[in-house]
Structures are given as structure tokens and as C-alpha cells.
Amino acid sequence: MSKTIAILGAGFAGLPLAHYILKHYADKFDLKLVLVSRSEELYWNIAAPRAAIPGQFSDEEVFHAIPPAFAKYPANRFEFVHGSVVAWQPDSNTIGVVLHQGAERQINYHTLVIATGSDYSADMPWKLIGTSQETHAALDKLRSDVRKADSIVVGGGGPTGVEFAGELGHEYAKTGKKKVTLIISEPLPLGPRVQEATRMSAQKELEKLNVNIITDTRVTKITDSNAGGKVLELSRGDGTLETLHADLFTPTWGVKFNTSFAPASLRETDGRLKATQTLRSPGYDNVFLVGDCANKDSYAALVREKQVRYIASALGQYFKGVKLDDFVPESKVGMTVAIGPSRGVGDLFGFNVWSFFVWYFKGRHMCTNIAAEYVAGGKLILGSF
């Protein structure tokens, strides 16, 4: 009887690994792959900051159906399970799934790959919100809120906040159509791991688009305004408090890792799963971890795709029964941040890269040009797979 390998999560990490296993290992090692996902579509959330601007990307460009991309594999090798993983018993190799239709199902596995990634809090569609239908609805609502607002405040100076402020700046603030403010807790955007030169470039690019940046400030309270919109309480670095009115407030913080189904002993305090040097759960050599849910920084392609390639090759060693090579984490920051459709900043291998480079590789299309191929298998953002 075939061995069952279950992949939990069909996102940027789970999807390419599923194709890879089906192409390279399923017949060779007599495997049946069960891919479990609460969403039937891959949300190309890399494009989310632009997709949230009315009239930019269509839903067809950012949502891609998953089951048709696997129709080419025989039924004895592949099954798609549309549902949410709610329980995991690593000692008995079982997971519990609440299916999309409501019924419950238990799946026994020989080998498990956990790739359940992360979500954003406050129901912001920077990533999936539950099912893809719920995400379509949240994206539509955000577009409509953006359309109606005269003043928009973006909270958070990470890449999502900078990209969204850049899109708003390009579309509206540059020409004075709307007032756009970015609130960041540090003196410069993008966080301390990114080189100062790149952070300064981000600040300059945003200012060129008329984005007002409030630095060293935290949003400490959000209340509904009687005049509509929100009143934000801002706490400055020097301890003073101020208020700011926004027709629309869009937080970009609050990443949460999708690991609540895992035993607490296998999770870090931030919710990520503990991972060994071979990206496995401590004490469970048949459980592999990849992507945002694993305790290895995986924010961008440079890091995440390294993990995906590693797991692909490690699974070959594992099924052959040989010792696995250790994973060598990426030590350098790798980040490209589009600032509107025509400019960008980046920190790659210690270099503050040119705006043209970021525009060429990301900003002009937000990598939507490869999304369909990515879902069909054989492609990662950084090359073929």
C-alpha cells in the first residue's frame, strides 16, 4: 500500500513542494500525496498592496485555483482536501481536519510537511483571510474603503506598510487627490535588519509621492469618530500623546502564525513551530516544516525558497533512508520593496539595489506575471524548480 505524505497548506511553500513530490518521488517511493488547504485558491498576496487600490489588479490576476493545477496527476497519487487542520497528534501520526462542507475527517500519515504559513490580524487582506471567498470579500471592501476615503493612514513601517503607502502615494497623494500618512515606530521605514541606506531611500521615495511619514510613533488607541472614520491616539517616542483623524486606517502589523493545531510543546512563544537543523519537528523525524510557520526567518523569497529547495532535496534523502544534510539558513537580508508601480528599493546580499532593478523584477507587475506558472508547478519566484 502507498505511503501517505500529507502537506498542510497550499501557499507559497506547500504548493511547489506538492508538485515536486508528485513529479519526482510519488512513483519512485510509492507515495500518495494529500494536500490539505482551507483555501482552494492561491492568493498572490505579493501583489496585495497594489490589488487593494481600485482599478489595479483584477481578482483573476491575484487568485489562482489550486485543484485544476493538480488534475494532471493520477487519483491514486494525489488528493486535495479542502478544509482546516484543527488537530495534530504527532505520536499517532494523525491530523484532524474540519472540511469546508463542515464534516470532520481524520488523516493518518507516514510523513507530514507543515506549510500553514501566517495570517494578518484585523482581517486585513495582506494575506488570506480564511477561505479565498472571504479574502475576495475583504479585498473588495478595502478597495471600496480606499475609494471613499479622503485621508488614509497606514500603520506600520515594514515592507507591507511601505508598499501600500507607496501605492496610495502614487495613485492619490502625489496629485493631491487624497492625504496619505504612514506611521512608523522607528526613525526610518523597513526595520533595523535592513541597511540604513535602503531605509533612507524608502523614506525619500515615499516623500517624493507626498506621503507624510510620522516617525518614532505608535498607534496606541483606535476609536470610531463621530464624524465617520477613526480617531487614532498616537504615542510619540518622547512620551507625548496626540490624536489624528483618518477617514480610513489600515494597519499592516499583527502577523500570526497558523499553528494553533500543534501541541504547545512543539511551538515557540511567538507561535512558530520549533525546527531542528534539518527543518523537522524536534523528536518527530517524519515531520518537515517549511515557510512562515517554521522557526526560521522566511519573510521573502530568498529565504523561503531556500527552505523549499532544501526540503525537496531532503525528502529524497529521507525516503532513500540516508542521513539528511543540515539546512544552512540565509544570513543576509533579501528584500525588494516596490514603491508604486514605477519605483522601488531593495537590500540584496548587503547591497542597496537600484530602483530600476526593483521595478524590473517586481514593481512593474508584482510578480503576477509568473503566478499562473507558479501554481501549475515547475516555477519558484527565483527560477525553475
Ligand X SMILES: Cc1cc2nc3c(=O)[nH]c(=O)nc-3n(C[C@H](O)[C@H](O)[C@H](O)COP(=O)(O)OP(=O)(O)OC[C@H]3O[C@@H](n4cnc5c(N)ncnc54)[C@H](O)[C@@H]3O)c2cc1C
Whether 336 contacts 346, CB under 8 Å? yes
Q: Rule CB under 6 A: which of 259-288 touch ligand X?
A: 261
Select the residue interacting with ligand X from 160, 185, 198, 276 (CB under 6 A).
160
Separation between Cα atoms, residue 354 and residue 339, nearest integer Å: 12
Examine residue 368 and tell whether it contacts ligand X (CB under 6 A).
no
Examine residue 46 and tell whether it contacts ligand X (CB under 6 A).
yes
Which of these ranges, 168-176, 189-197, 292-300, 339-347, lies near ligand X under the rule CB under 6 A?
292-300
Which of these ranges, 44-52, 222-230, 267-275, 318-326, lies near ligand X under the rule CB under 6 A?
44-52
For 98, phi then psi, to 5°, come to -95, 110
Identify the CA nearest to 88 among candidates 273, 295, 269, 268. 273
* Lookup result for grid cell 532535496: 313
Residue 39 or residue 93: which is nearer to ligand X going by CB?
A: 39
Examine residue 118 and tell whether it contacts ligand X (CB under 6 A).
yes
Residue 10 or residue 154: which is nearer to ligand X going by CB?
A: 10
Whether 163 contacts 358, CB under 8 Å? no
Select the residue interacting with ligand X from 198, 203, 250, 298 (CB under 6 A).
298
Give the interface size with ligand X as a residue count (CB under 6 A). Answer: 36
Q: Which residues of 207-218 are buried (b: 16+ CB within 10 A; e: fewer)?
A: eebbbbbbbebe
Burial class (CB in 10 A: 0-12, 13-18, 19+), 103: exposed
Residues 6 or more apart in contact with residue 255 via CB below 8 angstroms: 118, 119, 120, 121, 292
Examine residue 13 and tell whether it contacts ligand X (CB under 6 A).
yes
Examine residue 217 and tell whether it contacts ligand X (CB under 6 A).
no
Q: Is 284 left (phi over 0), alpha (psi -120 to 50) or beta?
A: beta
C-alpha cell at 103: 464534516
Examine residue 296 and tell whether it contacts ligand X (CB under 6 A).
no
Select the residue interacting with ligand X from 203, 258, 276, 278 (CB under 6 A).
258
Identify the CA nearest to 250 among candidates 154, 174, 337. 154
Examine residue 39 and tell whether it contacts ligand X (CB under 6 A).
yes
Examine residue 84 and tell whether it contacts ligand X (CB under 6 A).
yes
Examine residue 229 and tell whether it contacts ligand X (CB under 6 A).
no
Which of these ranges, 32-40, 50-58, 68-76, 167-175, lies near ligand X under the rule CB under 6 A?
32-40
Examine residue 182 and tell whether it contacts ligand X (CB under 6 A).
no
Residue ranges that bind ligand X, judged by CB under 6 A: 8-14, 36-39, 45-46, 48-49, 84-85, 115-118, 126-128, 160, 258, 261, 291-292, 298-301, 304, 362, 381
